Amino acid sequence: MIVQKFKHFQREILNNLWQFRARNVFSVTIICLSFLIVGIFVSLSNNLQYTAQQLSQDMAVVFFLNKDISPIDREAITRELEKSTLVQKTQFVSSEEAIEKFLIKFPDLEGIVDNLKLNPFPSSYEISLREKNLTYEDTQPFIDKMRGMKGIEDVQFNKDWVEKMQSLSRLARSVGFFLGGILVLASFFIVSNVIKLNVIARKDEIEILRFVGGSNIFIRIPFLTEGIILGALGGILSLLLLFVVIKLFPLYLGSSLGILNELINFRYLTFSQSFALIFSGAVIGLFGSMSSIAKFLKS
Amino acid sequence: MIELYHIWKQYQKPDWALKDVTLKVNQGDFCFVTGPSGSGKSTLLKIIFREIFPTHGQIVVDGRNILRISDHKIYRLRRTMGIVFQDFRLVFHKRVFDNVAVVLQVLGYPRKELRRRVFNALRMVNLNHKMWEYPSHLSYGEQQRVAIARAVVNNPNIILADEPTGNLDTELAYEIMSLFLEVNKKGTTVIICTHDRELIRHFGKKIVFLYKGKLLREENI
């Protein structure tokens, strides 16, 4: 009996999806566009998060030394660095090594370097920090102490960038969820109304089903399943559209954004994010159908 | 058996659609409920299949007080009844076959058995050759016969028909009444609401007269 009913539902759902295709396409489009907006912001946020992670992986402090630093002062600095619990690795880079590194990174500028009479690069200590998630309060006393030592000319620390990137990523995600949330809510009402139109169009059919002994579950299942299918379909289509956006966006903008190109970039959603998107679509469809059909089933 | 005890129904104050109706219809009866428009015939039928609740009174169908059945279980009562409406209530975007089959789909009949039963029901009303047509392509009389086929396809204990010949000419009306008689011969209780005196005279066995919501008299012929 259950198999027969299952087959009946299958036929009913396919028939109804086809019969009311214009309305169904409309609701799928609404869900798809709403989720596309959410997807774009999540993708953007993913990219910022990724950039922040990359930066935090090589979170380093560079202590540039005075040209005329005495061996005693250098020794004192070395000792201080070895003593610190924050330091994971210390590497001394002489001014010769610094110029070599520079030329490897920027070979086109070799002529300029050759024309210089003096080596402009100071020697330095490059420090890797032990923990990646250190806060300002954790690191600042150490940095300040080192900055005050004799022989240290300047300090370069990229933690600020990491933090900025992370907060930007959080901002992008919040904006995405806020705008997306509004759109998703709007799409919920639109979908529930579209399904309500379907239900109204089939009001007589529902009434007949009730008179011939159809249980509420029997009547509800096709409508709810249709809602879930439409919602999930909207979610899947939004992912496909997002894929197209991610592919086309760099081609459209080219290098016009310059250095911002790396930041305003789209990264594919993770598997769990994609699943959550499709799942949310299905839930919207389900609740949309539930709210639409409820009043028609009241005795 | 259908038993109605002191049924009162009020849609809007101060008028009463039914006033203290007490009635007993036995299993296998062929009963006409008659009276002028507004006498409460349709209300009586709606109360029996519990589309509406009476304001006062009790109804017992096959030993069960149907007013105590919860809303989500009322489908069990309706599965024992076949209902024919004056306006047929067919689904026009579905074929004749599907209109009749819906009753058996609700019950989860296997496809093969379902086809056999639907075919037999449509053959009984002489419409098996129009099984795959849409109701809109059928005449009034044919549409009403589809509605009857739908009502009898699962061999219900009770058939309730509200003005089933209201829109039909005399010849078709007789044809349809003959179908109800045929079903009744198999032991099904049939209750028909009509104000067609000719039909009642010709087919009537048990007649219930309603007037302004009151049961005037019962006649057993």
Residue written as token pair 């709210």:
A291
Distance CA A221, CA A268 (A): 35
Distance CA B3, CA A186 (A): 52
Q: Find all residues with CB under 8 Å of A203, minimum gap 6, and list them.
A: A296
Tell whether B67 lies on the interface with A, counting CB pairs under 8 A: no
Residue B116's pLDDT is what?
A: 95
Q: Find all residues with CB under 8 Å of A226, minimum gap 6, and list them.
A: A13, A16, A17, A24, A195, A198, A285, A289
**In chain A, where are the structural domains located?**
2-54+163-297, 59-157
Cβ–Cβ under 8 Å, residues A145 and A83: no
Domain B26-55+80-220: give its CATH architecture.
3-Layer(aba) Sandwich (3.40)
For the domain A59-157, what is the CATH code?
A: 3.30.70.3040
Residue A255's pLDDT is what?
A: 58
Q: Which helix (H) or strand (E) holds A143?
A: helix A136-147
CA distance B58 to chain A (A): 18
pTM, to two decimals: 0.68
**Is A214 in contact with B74 (Cβ distance < 8 A)?**
no
Residue written as token pair 């599965």:
B79
Residue A299's pLDDT is what?
A: 46
Closest partner CB to B78 (pick from A1, A4, A213)? A213
Residue A137's pLDDT is what?
A: 67
pLDDT per residue as tens, chain B (221 positions): 899 999 999 998 888 899 999 999 999 999 999 998 889 999 999 999 998 999 999 999 988 999 999 888 899 999 999 999 888 889 988 899 999 999 999 888 888 999 999 999 999 888 989 999 999 999 888 998 999 999 999 889 999 999 888 767 788 788 888 889 988 998 999 999 998 888 888 887 889 999 998 998 888 77
Distance CA A53, CA B132 (A): 66
Q: Which residues of A touch B83 (CB under 8 A)?
A: 211-212
Give the 3-state secondary structure of residue A293: helix
Helix, strand, coil in percent for chain B, rounding step 5 = 40, 25, 35
Query: ∠B90-B93-B96 over CA atoms, to 5°?
Result: 55
Mutation to test the A interface, candidates B106, B136, B143, B154, most A Cβ within 10 Å: B106
Give the 3-state secondary structure of residue A99: helix
How many residue contacts between A and B have a Cβ separation below 8 Å? 60
Residue A135's pLDDT is what?
A: 62
Mutation to test the A interface, candidates B45, B51, B78, most A Cβ within 10 Å: B78
Tell whether A216 lies on the interface with B, counting CB pairs under 8 A: yes
CA distance B49 to chain A (A): 8
Q: Find all residues with CB under 8 Å of A108, minimum gap 6, and list them.
A: none
Please give the distance of CA A150 from its chain centroid, rounded to a whole number: 44
**In chain B, where are the structural domains located?**
26-55+80-220
pLDDT mean by block of 10 residues, chain A; 299 residues: 78 83 86 84 77 66 85 87 82 85 79 78 83 66 83 79 70 74 76 76 85 88 89 92 83 61 69 89 86 72
